[in-house]
Structure 1
Amino acid sequence: MGPLELLIVAFWVMLPAYVPNNAAVLAGGGAPIDGGRTWKDRRILGDGKTWRGTLVGTLVGIGIAYLLNVLRPTAVEALGVSVPTFPLVAMITLPLGAMLGDMIASFVKRRLGRNRGAPLPGVDQLDFAVSALVLTAIVAFEWLVAVFTLPLLIVVFVLTPILHVVTNVLAYLFGFKHEPW
């Protein structure tokens, strides 16, 4: 695969993991997952991790994967790039893993004494991608290994922080987020 093809495939296979956290921000609010509980005098996750946001984010990611499967023949023809289809388990684990990764990062940030919205460089940009891939590897290992070659993984881990920063700045500028990170 050439560089452009790697970029297209990386974006394609990660889109179900890229979109959920953005959808959760738009649909957020409601009851926090931790119910306001604390652990060692700090919130477990914080008000930013809600049941509604997690459910909507996961469902939107599943919908994106389904839509990509439907659009695949047209995309292959239009792009001239062979993009993979998503098996049902990957359709679920990529977005769910992304949401879980964001919660794990929130938990870690609370343990480090960081407030909601405080940046944690590196973690903020990759938590969701790593968790999405790990959860998918647990239940769809053969598919993950067949799709995520080493060059593709490298592109994913370079592309993801760039996209994360750009989308967060845009969300901030449009008033969807209170901070640009």
Structure 2
Amino acid sequence: MDVLGVIVIMLNGLWLFLPAMLPNSAAVVFGGETKIDFGKSWRGKRIFGDGKSWRGFFGGALSGIALGLILIGIAALFGSEDYWGFGGFWGNVGVIACLSFGAILGDLCAAFIKRRLGLARGQKAPVLDQYDFVIGAFCVTALFYPDWIYAHFIEGWHIAALIFILVIMFAIHRTANIIGYRMGLKKEPW
């Protein structure tokens, strides 16, 4: 495979992963009100903390799904009705829902781990902060659509798409957090 082919695979992987990249940022915008853990503690520490709300959970995930539907529409305009490659429209929506909810669940798991480690809300947790949603999105999607994950991110040269996502995610995560901080939506720029 030539260099251009690998670049196309990497950009295609990023396009496919976009519905997983939006939910955590959107959750910040939609967040507030009732906390997911209802203010409860476990072993003397909050379960998830004040940063995780039901409104943010569903608002974030549904934003990722909405973005995915827009991307399906864009792909259809260019003649690729089954761009996500999993059984037409409803199969594609299933993949997109798994990516979106998986990203939010990954972030929720990271909050749980951070509370267990005694880290306060907003305190830095390198690697965990940058990749929690990536791991969650891939795990949930692999649970329901393992063939899709294999075909688009593991098989042959498609591993380049996975590596590309892992490499650029740090920069994307950092940029999104700085923007959120400057907009007053986040208390810390990391």
**TM norm structure 1:** 0.91
1:165–1:75 Cα change, 3 Å: farther
Is it true that 1:131 corresponds to 2:140 in the alignment?
no
Is it true that 1:158 corresponds to 2:161 in the alignment?
no
SS of corresponding position for 2:97: helix
Contact 1:11–1:156 under 8 Å retained in 2:
yes
Is it true that 1:13 corresponds to 2:22 in the alignment?
no
Match of 1:56 in 2: 59
Structure 2 CA distance, aligned partners of 1:180 and 1:76?
40
Contact 2:13–2:152 under 8 Å retained in 1:
no
One-letter amino acid of the counterpart of residue 127, structure 1: D
- Give the number of aligned pairs: 177
1:176–1:7 Cα change, 3 Å: farther
Contact 1:46–1:106 under 8 Å retained in 2:
yes
Match of 2:89 in 1: none
CA apart distance, 1:140: 0.7
SS of corresponding position for 2:22: helix
Contact 2:49–2:111 under 8 Å retained in 1:
yes
Any idea what the Cα deviations from partners look like across 1:22-80, whole Å, max 9, x if unmatched? 11100110100001110111000001110000011111111111110010144689xxx
CA apart distance, 1:6: 3.6
Single out whichever of 167-176 and 123-132 deviates more from structure 2: 167-176
| Structure 1: 4+ residue segments shifted above 3 A | 1-4, 73-77, 83-86
Contact 1:72–1:85 under 8 Å retained in 2:
no
CA apart distance, 1:8: 2.1
Structure 2 CA distance, aligned partners of 1:116 and 1:85?
39
Structure 1 CA distance, aligned partners of 2:161 and 2:10?
8
Which of 21, 25, 28 in structure 2 is aligned with 1:25? 28
One-letter amino acid of the counterpart of residue 174, structure 2: V
1:9–1:44 Cα change, 3 Å: same
Gaps of 5+ in 2: 87-91
One-letter amino acid of the counterpart of residue 65, structure 1: G
Q: 1:64-143 residue pairs with structure 2 within 5 A?
A: 64-74=67-77, 84=84, 87-143=92-148
User: Identity rate of aligned residues, in percent?
Assistant: 39
